[in-house]
Structure 1
């Protein structure tokens, strides 16, 4: 696979996830507060199983292509920094988002929702920075 194709996959996946995470952060997660207690478990189950179909393939494409770019460019390159950021995103997902969603599958808990929103800023900022890195690299490639 060519460097250009790997970079294209990586850039698309980073931009896609940055856009999605900003929507989730500002619109979707805060809306959890407005779902009734009676419907919340079904809503949470639907959210997790529906969003997984979107984010898992894109996140896998992003981490795989990020690794490939770091491998090609070297572990001290700007693409390597992008890979390290993606690793941090995966860590934040596993440490913060997955446990919060697991807690919310049991029942509606406003403090768990607040924690989900506040800890999701880590991923939101990291994906924004990752997209910025890809923008910088892309700009320098086309100059």
Structure 2
């Protein structure tokens, strides 16, 4: 199996996951009480991490490999977008999720979470589409 097919599978997994989070998971946070959300969130974050962590690491690892062995515009742009997603995740989303787990929640913060997540949703969608185009 080629590295490009594995990459396409990982990119597909991440795009499906981010759209589910964007359209279902994050908006559902608005329907919890603060206490219930904090309790659920402390369970949710490690569980979702078991799914998203390996996918993100796999995507990054393959992108680094691809850019180092076949330096193309696609691979260069891909690694830049992936880096942007990692930066956005750790600078914006990790602090928000930490606050939610500690029970420091407001409706405006949860709405901000949904709004800000569009950046990652769009970027992961672009990565998947550009990976898919490589096969046509």
Relative to the length of structure 1, the TM-score reads: 0.89
Q: Does the Cα contact within 8 Å between 1:9 and 1:62 map onto a contact in 2?
A: no
Paired residues in the alignment total 135
Counterpart in the other structure of 1:101: 97
Shift in Å, 1:77: 2.1
Deviation string for 1:61-112 (max 9, x for gaps)? 00000111111121x4212211111111111111111111011112132122
Matches within 5 A, 1:36-55: 36-55=33-52
Unmatched runs of 5 consecutive residues or more in structure 1: none
Relative to the length of structure 2, the TM-score reads: 0.93
Find 2:74's aligned residue among 78, 89, 108: 78
Alignment partners' CA distance in 2, 1:69 and 1:85: 14
CA RMSD of aligned residues (A): 1.2
Shift in Å, 1:5: 2.5
Deviation string for 1:27-74 (max 9, x for gaps)? 110000111223121111111111001000010000000111111121
Find 2:53's aligned residue among 40, 52, 56: 56
Alignment partners' CA distance in 1, 2:37 and 2:22: 18
Counterpart in the other structure of 1:131: 128
Counterpart in the other structure of 1:6: 3
| Larger relative contact order, structure 1 or 2 (CA cutoff 8 Å, min sep 6) | 2
Deviant stretches of 4+, over 6 Å:
none
Unmatched runs of 5 consecutive residues or more in structure 2: none
Find 2:31's aligned residue among 23, 34, 37: 34
